[in-house]
Amino acid sequence: MMGITVRGLVKTYGATTVIDTISFDVADGEFVTLLGPSGCGKTTTLRCIAGLDTPNGGLIAINGRVVSDAREGVFVAPHKRDLGMVFQSYAIWPHLTVAQNVAFPLTVKGERNTGSAVGWALDIVGMTHLAERRPSELSGGQQQRVALARAIAARPQVLLFDEPLSNLDARLRDRTRLEISRIQRELKVPALYVTHDQTEALSMSDRVIVMEAGRVVQQGTPRELYHRPVNRFVADFIGSANFLEVRRAERQWHLADGTPIQVDPLSDAGGTEPRVALLRPEAIRLDAGSVVEQNSTLNRLTGSVLGAMYLGPHIEYVVAAGGAHIRAFSRLELPPGSPVTLTFAADDCRLVDDTAASPKRNPASDYPRQSPILENIP
Amino acid sequence: MRQLNFRRTGSGLASLASPARLLRAVARLPSAVALPRGEGFGVLGVIYAAVFTVVALLASIPVVALVLGSLRDSAPGLPGHWTWANWANLASPGVVETLLTTLEVAGLTTAFAMVIGTALALIIHRTDFRWSAAMTAMLGLSFYFPSFILAMAWIVIGSPGGLINDVLRDGMGIESVSVDIYGVTGIVFVMVLHQVPFAYLTMRGPIMGMDPSYEEAARTAGASPLTMLRRVTLPMLSYALASSALLSLVMALEQFGIPVLIGVPGRVTVLATQIYLLCRFPPTAYGLAAAIGLTLAAITAAAILLQRRLARGGRAVVTTGKAGRITPIPLGAWRWPANLFCGVYIAMGLVLPSLILLYTSLIKFFTANPFDAAFTWRNYVYVWNSEATQQAILNTMLVSGGGALIGVLLGAACSYFTVRLQPTGYRVLDMLVMLPFGVPGVVLGLGLLWAYAYLPVPLYGTLTLIVLAYVTRFLPYATETAGARFVQLDRSLEEAAWTAGASRQSGVWRIVLPLSLPSLQSGYFLLFMAFFREISATILIFTASTSVLSVSIWAFFEQANWGLASALSILAMILMLAVMSLLLWAMPGARQR
């Protein structure tokens, strides 16, 4: 099978379990993102696939070849896995020029004529004119492109990205995001991308795998994750969200103050215990005043403005309604205390499992330091 | 995770006493480097086993030999019996008195050197002092000024027949006041002069690396510059001060050249010189010397362990790594006292001793009045034409040039394993490297003397033995310089090479080595200079054919031949400066430190 296969992967550091039995696939040519908060094990997963960390359990195969199998004692060294990897720090070697950096994956395999491959890779990232520069003469964005060119120069079977955009400023990040997508589609190789940034995950990926505390919480297309998150953690991590506490009385769900509310019937499994309903702020229409018009398919709540934040494209309001504080977007200018009506479709109000993010753990990955006794002797 | 047996014993030394166990452990080392069930790391595994074995032998042979030697009632190589008498003799009044003198000398030296060194660092790097660059360069030079040459110069100046008394008696006719350097005060005085540059250099880093915002916060909170210094700067430097003082103390405890030159005529004995005297002058007592050596090594080792603990705790407190522009404290009315303070130190620690040696080397008979002196080149001519001297110069260059290369390569390999790969047993390796650092040079020499009297290896009387002694003694210099660089090098630089298709060996060769070259160069420089001026580790193991410059100078001086000793000192220092400039020119990396 082409692509990356991960089965039952386990990684522990001492007593800490960083990856707890996860499995997923990346199909050939597919762009998959591992998304999660820091310390969730996404980078460790990527490093296990690269062979930079050794798994304690499970199996990893790249394009049908098992590169790591804890039970069988198989472990293929990183340099024999035919990878292209972009590091968070870029890891551009400062003692080599741009061209020498990009040529490294070829020269290290003993290839002499690297000119055309280096030219091709630099051309793809638009860095041909800087080929003879030293890394210290490049900006962060340019170094990032060199890292990208180096990763693809030897036409690897797999591309791995470890938060490659986290050190760039916002504008450059947007541009590079598009570029990485384009290059990966051109090369048609499986790509695994690690990030904690939901925008990157949603905009670039064919599929997103959300991780939390060393486990896979949900995987699916960006749309599936956004619209049908399996629990409160995923809903909260991807996009902004209101969580409304609802309880059932006589076949009807009610908000905290007793207001009846309709929810997406597909999300309603029919239990009777109190639940949490997800309502995205952008799914809410906010009108000034108390509109009385009734409509059976829409929910309507009246309330008053508690506070407002000006964000540019719209204003984010916090509204006291239905016994809860609900965030909603609008372009209306309303002073605090104004009466408002919130309107939203039943389909936009989904019951989700009330699993919040578990407390953060820090995997013990700190590098030990030596005490330089003589650090100041000339 | 597989572990070596002896990791669990907690002490590598204890287990090293069992050769069978050590052999078994070493045999398993190559597989320790490989990632579990990995492939293709064989070469590094073999290198690891080799480095581990070499370092284990270097560190353990002298120590084990000392332990065994301290239990013998005869000289090395002679028939004798096992005995506890040497250890019992540690309690004799002579040894106890020497121990007390040692602690007194080392304690006083450390206290004065720390105060002066810290003051210099503060003046140079924290105030608007005008001669910062010049002072830094001069202090760097005096750091490399060999201790025994400094002692010689001050003996010429301050001994009963020396310069000061000559001036007092003949120049001014004063008989009632006289100076005698041969005493505890004289030893401490010269040792302070010698150790101030070390105190300065160890305090300079923390002072310059301090985050300026702490001080700025104090200033904005209304503190005057002096209040800030007293209530913020110095308290924040307390870890660095303590750690630097402990290292100073270790150096003072193991100092040999100064106490042997000044102390022996003045009948002041410290532990390091007592070991030498017990081995060189009849009735010899090599066993007692070994017991004293182990005691001294235990004291310095304790100080080093404490220092390492402090350094680890202190790093987080002060250095945030972002050294910014610090607003200099205006000296104001203190400008001239500060200038005077710096000038007096440089005069006494560097300029005056050099001039005195130059003067002494150029006159026939010693007199304080240059107008009475008969100037001559004969000392230089004699030294230059002496075959023994030529041999010593050649030996010194061979030992320093070649030995430093061996040392820096071995040290870099050790650090790569202890800092980067961290295979099974790396903590033991780290400890083995540091072990000889606590062993004073003369004790190390004695250990080797004991060892090679029994070991079936014909090393005694060879330059190789001297190189072994130097490499053992100064290996931590190399591991620390290389290790500091390896720690700084972002791991991803090496990992990027692996994922780009480079094996570990090729990653080391193509990425790690080129990027660490400056540190390796500066390590080489450091080792070269240390080897060049070392005397304490050599004094017990040199023979006529393996004499080095330091020993030759010292031998001339011991024969009371001030002229020849001075001439050779001047030649040695010119040679040292020439090599220094050559190394700095050829290896730009060595300049960084």
Helices (H), chain A: 42-50, 98-107, 115-124, 140-153, 170-187, 198-204, 222-227, 232-237
Query: ∠B263-B351-B369 over CA atoms, to 5°?
Result: 80
B367 and B407 share a domain? no
B454 and B586 share a domain? yes
Of A77, A82, A160, nearest to B503 by CB-CB distance is: A77
Contact yes or no for B153/B353 (Cβ under 8 A): yes
- Answer whether B593 sits within 8 Å of A377, measured CB to CB: yes
- Answer whether A370 sits within 8 Å of B490, measured CB to CB: no
Tell how far CA B401 is from the center of its chain. Answer: 17
Q: Is ipTM strictly over 0.85?
A: no
Tell me whether residue B19 is in a domain: no
- Answer whether B480 sits within 8 Å of A88, measured CB to CB: no
B312: domain CATH number is: 1.10.3720.10
Confidence of residue B477 (pLDDT cuts 50, 70, 90): confident
HEC readout, B400-420: HHHHHHHHHHHHHHHHHHHHH
Tell me whether residue B339 is in a domain: yes
Tell me whether residue B32 is in a domain: no
Q: Quick one: closest CA in B to A53, which residue? A: B35
Q: Which domain holds residue B334?
A: 97-374
Q: Give the C-alpha separation, B548 to B536, whole Å.
A: 12
Of A89, A108, A376, nearest to B201 by CB-CB distance is: A376
Which residues 434-493 of chain B have a CB within 8 Å of chain A?
Answer: 437, 476-477, 480-481, 483-484, 487, 490-493
B301 and B447 share a domain? no
B295 and B383 share a domain? no
Q: Per DSSP, what are the bridge partners of residue B112?
A: none
Select from B416, B446, B418 the least CA-distant residue to B434. B418
Measured torsion, CA atoms of residues B297, B302, B307, B312, in degrees rounded to the nearest 10: 120
A4-227 has which fold? Rossmann fold (3.40.50)
Token pair 């699993």: residue: A355
Select from B460, B540, B449 the least CA-distant residue to B72. B449
Q: Give the C-alpha separation, A350 to A336, whole Å.
A: 29
Residues of chain A with C-beta less than 8 angstroms from the C-beta of B510: 104, 108
Q: Give the C-alpha separation, B537 to B446, whole Å.
A: 8
* Residue B387 sits at the chain A interface (C-beta within 8 Å): no
Residues of chain B with C-beta less than 8 angstroms from the C-beta of A51: 498-499
B36 to chain A, closest Cα gap in Å: 8
Residues of chain B with C-beta less than 8 angstroms from the C-beta of A88: 492
Q: Give the C-alpha separation, B417 to B421, whole Å.
A: 5
Q: What is the pLDDT of residues B527-572, one digit of tens each?
A: 999 999 899 989 988 888 889 999 999 999 888 888 999 999 999 9
Check whether B102 has a pLDDT greater than 80: yes
Of A75, A104, A109, nearest to B37 by CB-CB distance is: A75
Which residues 19-38 of chain B have a CB within 8 Å of chain A?
Answer: 35-38
Tens of each residue's pLDDT in chain A, 378 residues: 688 999 999 999 888 889 998 999 999 999 999 999 988 899 999 999 998 888 999 999 999 899 999 888 888 888 888 889 999 888 889 888 999 999 999 988 888 888 899 999 998 888 899 989 988 888 888 998 899 999 999 889 899 999 988 888 888 888 888 888 888 888 889 999 999 988 889 988 999 999 999 999 999 999 999 988 888 888 888 888 889 888 888 778 888 888 888 888 888 777 778 888 899 998 999 888 876 666 667 888 888 899 888 888 889 999 998 888 999 999 988 888 889 999 988 888 888 887 654 443 333 333 333 333 333 333
Domain ranges of chain A: 4-227, 240-352
B369 and B381 share a domain? no
Of B202, B308, B498, nearest to A79 by CB-CB distance is: B498
DSSP states along B318-349: HB-S-----PPBP-GGGHHHHHHHHHHHHIII
Which residues 355-384 of chain B have a CB within 8 Å of chain A?
Answer: none
B405 and B543 share a domain? yes
Q: Give the C-alpha separation, B208 to B442, whole Å.
A: 35
Residues of chain B with C-beta less than 8 angstroms from the C-beta of A105: 500-501
B156 and B275 share a domain? yes
Q: What is the pLDDT of residues A207-260, one digit of tens each?
A: 999 999 999 999 999 999 998 888 888 888 888 888 988 888 877 888 888 888
Tell me whether residue B565 is in a domain: yes
Contact yes or no for A158/A4 (Cβ under 8 A): yes
Residues of chain B with C-beta less than 8 angstroms from the C-beta of A93: 493, 496-497, 511, 515
Last residue of a domain, one of B357, B374, B391: B374
Q: Give the C-alpha separation, A352 to A71, whole Å.
A: 38
Tell how far CA B578 is from the center of its chain. Answer: 21
Of B140, B247, B501, nearest to A108 by CB-CB distance is: B501
Select from A250, A270, A269 the least CA-distant residue to A260. A250
Q: Give the C-alpha separation, A264 to A253, whole Å.
A: 11
A297 to chain B, closest Cα gap in Å: 55
Q: Give the C-alpha separation, A123 to B510, whole Å.
A: 25
Measured torsion, CA atoms of residues B202, B205, B208, B212, in degrees rounded to the nearest 10: -110
Output the six-digit token pair for A85.
């990897």
Q: What is the pLDDT of residue B53?
A: 93
- Answer whether A373 sits within 8 Å of B499, measured CB to CB: no
How many residue contacts between A and B have a Cβ separation below 8 Å?
146
Q: Give the C-alpha separation, B401 to B395, whole Å.
A: 10
B272 and B398 share a domain? no
Contact yes or no for A88/B492 (Cβ under 8 A): yes
Amino acid, single-letter form, for residue B405: L
Mean model confidence pLDDT for chain B: 84
Q: Per DSSP, what are the bridge partners of residue B329?
A: B127
Q: What is the pLDDT of residue B504?
A: 86
Length of chain B: 593
Amino acid, single-letter form, for residue B81: H
Q: Give the C-alpha separation, B549 to B58, whole Å.
A: 24
A68 to chain B, closest Cα gap in Å: 10
* Residue A364 sits at the chain B interface (C-beta within 8 Å): no
Number of separate domains in chain B: 2
Q: Give the C-alpha separation, B499 to A105, whole Å.
A: 9
- Alpha-carbon distances, residue A296 vs A261, A262, A299, B133, B324 (angstroms): 11, 9, 8, 84, 66
Residues of chain A with C-beta less than 8 angstroms from the C-beta of B121: none
Which residues 158-217 of chain A have a CB within 8 Å of chain B?
Answer: 160
Sorted by sequence, the CB contacts under 8 Å of residue B271 that are 6+ apart come out as B98, B99, B102, B253, B292, B295, B296, B440
Which of residues B488 and B592 earns the better pLDDT score? B488
- Answer whether B502 sits within 8 Å of A108, measured CB to CB: yes
Of A83, A94, A371, nearest to B499 by CB-CB distance is: A83
B211 and B159 share a domain? yes
- Answer whether A87 sits within 8 Å of B495, measured CB to CB: yes
- Answer whether A91 sits within 8 Å of B495, measured CB to CB: yes
| Average pLDDT score over residue span B504-527 | 89
B424 and B548 share a domain? yes
Right CATH for A240-352 from 3.40.50.1970, 3.50.50.60, 2.40.110.10, 2.40.50.100: 2.40.50.100
B158 and B291 share a domain? yes
* Cβ atoms within 10 Å, residue A178: 11
Check whether B38 has a pLDDT greater than 50: no
Query: ∠A129-A131-A133 over CA atoms, to 5°?
Result: 105
* Residue B418 sits at the chain A interface (C-beta within 8 Å): yes
Residues of chain B with C-beta less than 8 angstroms from the C-beta of A74: 37
Residues of chain B with C-beta less than 8 angstroms from the C-beta of A75: 35-39
Indicate the range of B6-10, B87-91, B397-401 predicted with least confidence. Answer: B6-10
B366 and B419 share a domain? no
Sorted by sequence, the CB contacts under 8 Å of residue B536 that are 6+ apart come out as B254, B255, B256, B257, B272, B440, B441, B442, B445
Q: What is the pLDDT of residue A32?
A: 94
